[in-house]
Amino acid sequence: MRTVFNVFVNARGSIVETEIAELIATAMLDLGHEVVFPAPGLPEAHRNTVNLVVAPHEFFHLQPDRTERELLRAAKASVSIGIEQPGTSWFELGTHYASLGSTVLDISPYAIAELNRRGLDATHLQLGYHPSWDRWGGDPSRLRHKDLLFLGSMTERRSRFLGDAAPLLWDYETDIRLFEFNRLMSKPQANFVTGAEKWQLLADSRALLNVHRNDVPYFEWVRVLEAVTNGCLVVTEASTDYGPLIAGEHLLATPYEALGAYAASLLADEPLRQEITTAAYDFIRTKLELTSLLAPICETLSEQAARPAQLARSAPNYRSSFERHPATKGELLEATSTGELRIRKRIKDLRDSEAELAQTHEAPLRFGDEQNQEVTTSSAWDGFEAQVTVLVTSNNNHDFIGESVASVMASEGISAEIVIVDNGSQDSSVSLIRSMMRDHPECPMMLIANSANAGVGTARDTGFGVARTERVFVLDAESYVFPSALRKLSGALDRAPDAAFAYGIIACPGESGIISHLAWDIERLLEGNYIDAMAMLRRSVWEQVGGFGAFCSLRPWADYELWLRIAACGWEAAFVPELLASRQVLGVSQQDAVELDTEVLEHGALRRLPAPPLSHADDDNEPAIKFRSDDGTLFEKESGTSAEPMETRVVQTPSDLDDNPRILALEAEVGVLRQRVKQREAAMAVLNRRLVALERLDHGGAGILEHATALEDELERLRQTRMFRWSALLRRVYTQARRVAGV
- How far, CA to CA in Å, does 251 sit from each of 192, 332, 516? 24, 31, 30
Provide mean pLDDT across the span 595-621.
Answer: 36
Neighbours of 616 (CB within 10 A): 16
User: What is the gyration radius of the CA atoms in the chain, in angstroms?
Assistant: 32
pLDDT of residue 636: 40
| pLDDT at 180 exceeding the cut of 70 | yes
Do residues 723 and 352 touch, judged by C-beta distance below 8 A?
no
Indicate whether 354 belongs to any domain: no
| Dist. CA 678–CA 687, nearest whole Å | 14
Contacts of 514 (CB under 8 A, 6+ apart): 159, 162, 163, 166, 505, 506, 507, 508, 579
422/565 same-domain check: yes
Indicate whether 351 belongs to any domain: no
pLDDT category of residue 708 using cuts at 50, 70 and 90: low
Q: What is the 3-state secondary structure (H, E, C) of 561-585?
A: HHHHHHHHCCCEEEEEEEEEEEECC
Do residues 673 and 733 touch, judged by C-beta distance below 8 A?
yes
467/554 same-domain check: yes
517/425 same-domain check: yes
| Dist. CA 273–CA 147, nearest whole Å | 11
pLDDT tens-place string over residues 112-133: 999 999 999 899 999 999 999 9
pTM of the model: 0.71
Provide mean pLDDT across the span 500-523.
Answer: 90
pLDDT category of residue 52 using cuts at 50, 70 and 90: very high
Indicate whether 154 belongs to any domain: yes
177/43 same-domain check: no
3-class SS at 620? Answer: coil
Indicate whether 397 belongs to any domain: yes
Indicate whether 340 belongs to any domain: no
Residue finishing a domain among 534, 560, 591: 591
pLDDT of residue 323: 38
pLDDT of residue 60: 94
Provide mean pLDDT across the span 334-349.
Answer: 53
Task: Give pairs for 41-46: CB < 8 Å, separation 24+.
Answer: 42/8, 42/66, 42/70, 42/71, 42/74, 43/6, 43/8, 43/74, 43/75, 43/77, 43/78, 44/74, 44/77, 45/76, 45/77, 45/308, 45/311, 45/312
pLDDT of residue 668: 57
632/571 same-domain check: no
| pLDDT at 206 exceeding the cut of 80 | yes
The one-character DSSP state at 309 is G
Of 377, 389, 392, 449, nearest to 416 by C-alpha is 389
Residue finishing a domain among 287, 312, 338: 287
Q: How far is CA 701 from the centre of its chain?
A: 26
pLDDT category of residue 707 using cuts at 50, 70 and 90: low
138/247 same-domain check: yes
Contacts of 466 (CB under 8 A, 6+ apart): 419, 446, 448
177 has which bridge partners? 151
Mean pLDDT of the chain: 78
Provide mean pLDDT across the span 189-207.
Answer: 93
Provide mean pLDDT across the span 410-435.
Answer: 93
Provide mean pLDDT across the span 178-206.
Answer: 87
pLDDT category of residue 91 using cuts at 50, 70 and 90: very high
pLDDT category of residue 490 using cuts at 50, 70 and 90: very high
Neighbours of 18 (CB within 10 A): 20
Indicate whether 348 belongs to any domain: no
Our CA dihedral for 613, 618, 621, 624, rounded to 10 degrees, sits at -10
Count how many domains the chain has.
4
CATH number where 516 lies: 3.90.550.10
- How far, CA to CA in Å, does 78 sit from each of 23, 27, 51, 59, 98? 19, 19, 5, 11, 8
3-class SS at 486? Answer: helix
Q: Look at 56-65, 235-244, 677-686 and tell me which has the smallest mean pLDDT.
A: 677-686
CATH number where 151 lies: 3.40.50.2000
Over pLDDT 90: what percentage of the chain?
52
Do residues 586 and 389 touch, judged by C-beta distance below 8 A?
no
Of 252, 205, 267, 265, nearest to 231 by C-alpha is 205
Of 398, 533, 400, 530, nearest to 460 by C-alpha is 533
634 has which bridge partners? 628, 647
Indicate whether 404 belongs to any domain: yes
Contacts of 56 (CB under 8 A, 6+ apart): 75, 78, 80, 81, 82, 93, 94, 97, 98
| Dist. CA 691–CA 342, nearest whole Å | 12
Domain that holds residue 727: 592-741
Residue type, 662: R
| pLDDT at 226 exceeding the cut of 60 | yes
465/602 same-domain check: no
Contacts of 20 (CB under 8 A, 6+ apart): 54, 55, 81, 83, 107, 127, 222
382/236 same-domain check: no
173/263 same-domain check: yes
467/610 same-domain check: no
Residue finishing a domain among 266, 287, 308: 287
522/457 same-domain check: yes
Q: How far is CA 670 from the centre of its chain?
A: 39
Neighbours of 226 (CB within 10 A): 24
122 has which bridge partners? 104
435/547 same-domain check: yes
Within 13 A of 398's CA, how many CA atoms are on the CB side?
Answer: 11
| pLDDT at 690 exceeding the cut of 50 | yes
Of 120, 183, 121, nearest to 154 by C-alpha is 183
| Dist. CA 18–CA 20, nearest whole Å | 5
pLDDT category of residue 676 using cuts at 50, 70 and 90: low
pLDDT category of residue 711 using cuts at 50, 70 and 90: low
Indicate whether 347 belongs to any domain: no
Do residues 422 and 430 touch, judged by C-beta distance below 8 A?
yes
